[in-house]
Amino acid sequence: MPPFYLLADPDQIAARARIIGKALPIEVSTAASATNSFERALPIVALSQSVVERPGKPDTGNAPAIIEAIDRAVADTKAGVAAALVTNPIAKKTLYDAGFRYPGHTEYLGHLAEEMTGEPATPIMMIAGPELRTVPVTIHIPLSEVPRQLTTAMILTAARITARDLTRRFGIEHPRLAIAGLNPHAGEGGSMGKEDAEIVAPAVEALRREGIDAIGPLPADTMFHAAARKKYDVALCMYHDQALIPAKTLGFDDAVNVTLGLPFIRTSPDHGTAFDIAGRGVARPDSLIAALKLARFMADRQAGQP
Query: What does the alpha-carbon distance between residue 201 and residue 248 come to, in Å, rounded to a whole number?
Result: 27
Report whether 40 contacts 55 (CB < 8 A): no
CA torsion 22-28-34-35 (nearest 10°) is -20
- Ordered mean pLDDT values, 10 residues apiece, the chain (306 residues): 92 90 92 90 94 86 93 95 94 88 88 93 95 95 96 98 97 97 93 95 98 98 97 98 96 92 94 84 90 96 84
Q: Give the pLDDT confidence of 208-219 residue by residue, as tens digits.
A: 999 999 999 999
Report whether 204 contacts 187 (CB < 8 A): no
In this prediction the pTM is 0.92
Query: What does the alpha-carbon distance between residue 301 and residue 306 come to, in Å, rounded to a whole number?
Result: 7
Say if residue 164 is exposed, middle or buried (CB neighbours under 10 Å; 0-12, 13-18, 19+).
middle
Tell me, what's the pLDDT at 10?
Answer: 94
Domains of the chain: 1-123+262-306 (3.40.718.10), 124-257 (3.40.718.10)
- Sign of torsion, CA 35 37 39 43? negative
Nearest to 67 by CA among 84, 47, 86: 47
In this structure, are strands 124-128 and 213-218 parallel, antiparallel, or unpaired? unpaired
Beta bridge partners of residue 124, listed in sequence order:
260
Tell me, what's the pLDDT at 1?
Answer: 78
Q: Which residues contact 74 (CB under 8 A, 6 or more apart)?
A: 85, 109, 112, 113, 116, 264
